[in-house]
Structure 1
Amino acid sequence: MTTEPRTEPAFEAGGRRYSAGDRVRFPRAGMRDNQTRVYEITEAGPGGITAEADGYAYQLSRSDIAVIGIEHADEK
């Protein structure tokens, strides 16, 4: 019996991979608070992500992320 290796859904942007559980920021978001707030990705796929912060969930498409940017929260 042959099974395919299990792969976790992920979102890729700027040569980096983002998966559920990653903590991220959006450096070009419109409001400064949203640029510095840390979000946790709860779902990720080729077309976008769902991220949560402060009890709210946000669905962001690939085009949304192209505008507001994305980076791992531990990046400078």
Structure 2
Amino acid sequence: MTGTEPVFEIGGRRYAAGDRVRFPNAGMRDNQTRVYDITAAGADRITAEADGCTYQLSRGDIGVIGIKHADEK
């Protein structure tokens, strides 16, 4: 990340297009463990893809389902 591309920041962590993430508090276990690719990021939302589906998630959505980089324990 060069610092010039759009990023989404929450909880002191930054997420940008190309990052791989998980949503640890999602309602279904499969959605908690699935890896999503961020395809777009902005100040208030991200777009993520997994298994051929695209999800547009707002800051509020992410506040509920959580977010972490896929390689975090």
TM range (shorter): over 0.9
TM-score by length of 2: 0.95
For residue 59 of structure 1, what is the aligned residue in structure 2? 56
For residue 7 of structure 1, what is the aligned residue in structure 2? 4
Shift of 1:52: 0.1
Q: Which runs of 4+ in 1 moved over 6 A?
A: none
RMSD: 0.9
Unpaired runs of 5+ residues, structure 1, are 1-5
For residue 68 of structure 1, what is the aligned residue in structure 2? 65
Unpaired runs of 5+ residues, structure 2, are none
How many equivalent pairs are there?
Answer: 71
TM-score by length of 1: 0.92
Shift of 1:22: 0.1
Shift of 1:51: 0.1
For residue 22 of structure 1, what is the aligned residue in structure 2? 19
How many percent of aligned residue pairs carry the same amino acid? 79
